[in-house]
Amino acid sequence: MEKTGQRRPSLDRGRAVRFRFPRGEAAPLRSVGVEEELLLVDAVTWEPYAVSPAVLATADRAGGEGHAFQKELHGQQLELATRPRTEMTELAAEIRERRAEAAEYAGKVGAAVAALATSPLPFDSAVNQDERYLWLEREFGPIARAQLTCGCHVHVAVESDEEGVAVLDRIRPWLPVLLALTGNSPFWRGHDSGYSSYRSRVWGRWPSAGPVEQFGSAAGYHDYVAAMVATGVLRDSAMAYFEARLAERYPTVEVRVADVCLDASTTVVVAALVRGLVETAAREWRG
């Protein structure tokens, strides 16, 4: 427990957080997008159910938005994604809509969706028949086969890689707090793990997962990732499974530390907190 009078953690190591807000006209809100990984389970037994290809095919036939749902490493997982939003009310509505659609499409193939970061019940490995995923299974064996874990990834827009890395360097002390707030995986293969987030323990087995040191610059970040690829630690830069990173496909900082949240309203709170951290860190960097 924090002692009375103890200084709270700074966004930048060694300095207290300085909140600076613009005078006059408010700064534009940064856009935020969310990706959630959901468990697919049998609608009767509630055991993990490897039907993601069938669920995605159902979504395609329904004429839904193609970008909204994607497969993941295991057939018992489904990923949903929102558009970038600046208004949290709009983000909340879209997350609820996507979750409802996922449940509808899963129901058509005898499945249900569960917003749980690990399965409370035992499961068999069911890696999707995708070249990349099969490579991961061959290369990492039981580490890959155990990764039936579901996270929540929050993307927040940044102006450049330099700003993004400055943000990454400053939000590091707050990432464990986000994990603590979202712990949603106490059970593992039928047992109480003793952890609020056992997903983080399982995910941490990947060679690039977990916290990193400060990078100092965009060049430092890219050199670090390139060295991991060059030495064979990573297949490519997309395997940089840091708790927070520069996104591969978007001009965003991607905060990946959180468990998937049990309800959509909690996801929105997490997204708002992450945006606040990013904005505060960026202002601190700009001075």
Residue 152 or 7, more confident: 152
Contacts of 86 (CB under 8 A, 6+ apart): 28, 29, 30, 31, 32
Contacts of 120 (CB under 8 A, 6+ apart): 187, 190
pLDDT at 19 over 90: no
pLDDT at 67 over 90: no
* Average pLDDT value for the chain: 92
Q: How many CB atoms lie within 10 A of CB 213?
A: 9
Residues 6 and 25: their CA atoms lie apart, in Å, by: 35
Mean pLDDT of 60-76: 86
For 134-179, the pLDDT digits (tens) are 999 999 999 999 999 999 999 999 999 999 999 999 999 999 999 9
39 Rama sector, left if φ>0, alpha if ψ -120 to 50, beta otherwise: beta
Query: In whole angstroms, how far apart are CA 2 and each of 5, 6, 7?
Result: 8, 7, 9
pLDDT at 226 over 80: yes
Res. 65 pLDDT band, cuts 50 70 90: low
pLDDT at 223 over 80: yes
pLDDT at 16 over 60: no
Q: Which pLDDT does position 62 carry in this prediction?
A: 86
Q: How many CB atoms lie within 10 A of CB 199?
A: 29
pLDDT at 24 over 50: no
pLDDT at 14 over 70: no
pTM across the whole model: 0.90
Q: Which pLDDT does position 64 carry in this prediction?
A: 64
pLDDT at 10 over 80: no
Mean pLDDT of 21-38: 80
Res. 82 pLDDT band, cuts 50 70 90: very high
Res. 28 pLDDT band, cuts 50 70 90: confident
For 180-196, the pLDDT digits (tens) are 999 999 999 999 999 99
Q: Which pLDDT does position 17 carry in this prediction?
A: 45
Mean pLDDT of 196-219: 96
Quote the percentage of the chain above a pLDDT of 90. Answer: 87
Place of tokens 């909340």: 92
Q: Which pLDDT does position 27 carry in this prediction?
A: 72
Quote the percentage of the chain above a pLDDT of 70. Answer: 90
Q: Is 104 exposed, middle or buried (0-12, 13-18, 19+ CB in 10 A)?
A: middle
Mean pLDDT of 228-235: 95
| Full set of structural domains in the chain with CATH | 32-286 (3.30.590.20)
